[in-house]
Amino acid sequence: MVDYQYIYDYYSNTPHLIKWVWWVSALLAISIIVLAVYLKFIRLSLRKKSNETAKFKSEYEALLVEYLYSGDESGKLTDSQKLIINRIKDSIKTPSKRKIIVSVLYNLMNEVSGEMSDSIKTFYYETGLIYYAFERLKSKKWNIIGKGISELRRFGIDEASHVIAPFINHPKSEVRSETHLYMVNLFLFEGLSFLDNLKAPLSEWIQIQLLETLQRFDNQEICDIRPWLKSENNSVVLFALKLAQIYNQFEVKETLMDLLAHENKEIRIETIDVLAHLYGIEAKEMLKTNFNDLSLEEQISFFKLLEKLVVPDDEPFVEAYLFHKNFEIQLLALKILKEINFDKYIGFTKSSNNNKSLAMVKAVKML
């Protein structure tokens, strides 16, 4: 039997600090027990939820497969297909079940093509899942709108374009990105028309995604990119420059020439690269003539271009910049000289008595 009197006496005679420590220990012990029970409860509920999800998933997968194989050649819904659709219609009223069905549909849509993919799309329409996706677009929460657009894109619902188009300039970049991807995925190059009205910047990441999407399609007939090269939105101009380079837009030469005088330095530098890619020697001669009017970054960019397209006739031009005040230009000029006239380069290395120049000559030798 526990001697309670002894415990009481011990506690009463204990200093306050020790009492306080006992209280804190008791409090911590209770907290640990409560948290352990809570953790156990969370784990149990999560496990239950995941079991239910797995159960519903396998149930819907079986129903979907049954639906896909119970169609006939007429293309009309058969009785058994109608029964399955009605069963699913009841289930999708619950958001969690709707989420599972959409994920099952999407998983399969990515893997199969042809008639089966069309049947999945019909299933999406007939069950009313499309209605819920449209409802998401009316939400006040930006993440819900984004998810709605993404779902409509993944299922290729092109009739949603008029409802999605107003999100082109949405304040949240995630919604804008989803809108841009929707437009290009469903309407290819025509979908790029959103660039006409784009006020917000087009991030580098979304530009890459758009280009990747465009390259996936067989039809590579690009529309006129000139309006975007003249856009007031700098990111649109930079994207159009990428399009010009990838799709070899030789016909936009005049517009590219105008861009050499653009107020944005990044655009001017990119334009030099595109001109070099499209017109090579022709662009080089033109830039050589205007070299002194270019900014330092543009001059460096031009020397990088010259490195690729150099011919012996460029020697006097290169020689003139061997003592340029900018290190990078000097280094590039030296490298080019070594490439086109090795004897002159050796002569230069022997005559050079400046420490800085000698260090650079050494660096070029190593290259």
Give 88 or 332: the residue with its C-beta nearer to other proteins. 88
Answer for which of 57, 82, 230, 253 binds other proteins (CB under 8 A) is 57
Pick out residues in 69-88 that bind other proteins (CB under 8 A): 69
Distance of alpha carbon 144 from alpha carbon 124, whole angstroms: 19
Q: What are phi and psi of 304, to 5 degrees?
A: -65, -40
Answer for which of 14, 107, 248, 354 binds other proteins (CB under 8 A) is 107
State how far Cα 11 lies from the chain centre: 66
Answer for which of 26, 32, 65, 311 binds other proteins (CB under 8 A) is 65
Give 184 or 337: the residue with its C-beta nearer to other proteins. 184
Smallest separation (angstroms) from other proteins to the CB of 111 = 5
Distance of alpha carbon 323 from alpha carbon 190, whole angstroms: 50
Q: What are phi and psi of 352, to 5 degrees?
A: -75, 125
Count the site residues for other proteins by CB under 8 A: 21
Smallest separation (angstroms) from other proteins to the CB of 61 = 5
Give me the 139-158 binding string for other proteins, x by CB under 8 A, dash otherwise. --------------------
Q: Is the dihedral of CA 255, 261, 265, 271 positive or negative?
A: positive
Closest CA to 287 of 317, 327, 332: 317
Task: Retrieve residue 335's tokens.
Answer: 């490298």
Residue 309 in contact with other proteins, rule: CB under 8 A:
no
Closest CA to 168 of 195, 145, 136: 195
Give 153 or 268: the residue with its C-beta nearer to other proteins. 153
- Within 10 Å of residue 303's Cβ, how many Cβ atoms? 23
Answer for which of 72, 111, 313, 343 binds other proteins (CB under 8 A) is 111
Which residues contact other proteins (rule: CB under 8 A)?
A: 57-58, 61-62, 64-65, 68-69, 104, 107-117, 216
